[in-house]
Amino acid sequence: MNFKTVLISDEMREKAFLISKNEGVYHRSFTKGDGRMVGFLGEQVFQYLRPGAMQANSRTYDFIVGGKKIEVKTRIMPREPVWETDDIAIKFNQDPKDYECDYFAMLGMAKDFSKCWLLGWISKNDFLAKHFIIRKGTKLTARYVAEQDNHAIKLKDLSRLT
């Protein structure tokens, strides 16, 4: 089952880069601010797909769509994910229960920032009920060990984005 794919334009990359530079580094940033570029690029993709989405001025949600508060979470992925078997591990800057959103929109970004996959969405309540923690030090692949705690959810627990 293929995911909807958005090709990232130079304009999207440039805008995300400028926003991330202007915002500075979050005080608990593991990547020293580099992850902000990924997050802002994910927001560019979401806005491209939902042109009527109202940008929010909040640290706990990104957009308002149809009266619902949406937090966009974007993760770098080494390849297009597999719906039936893959999980998505998401870094939250605070505990997910503290977000004031109604839904999380999950996106996967190619490592080279060339494209973004629309993975799905989930209500905050369903996320809190179904997510699990990948603890720092957990071996995820032959060459990758989790360097911090991450919240994760199985892709099949998400509703598909259309």
Any idea where the domains of the chain sit in the sequence?
4-157
User: CA 17 from chain center: how many Å?
Assistant: 16
What is the pTM assigned to this prediction?
A: 0.84
Phi-psi region of 112 (alpha: psi -120 to 50; beta: other; left: phi over 0): alpha
Per-residue pLDDT of the chain (162 residues; tens, 9 = 90+): 578 899 999 999 888 888 877 766 554 444 454 567 888 999 999 999 999 999 998 888 999 999 999 999 998 888 888 777 677 777 776 788 889 999 999 999 998 999 999 999 999 999 999 998 888 888 877 677 887 888 888 888 999 866
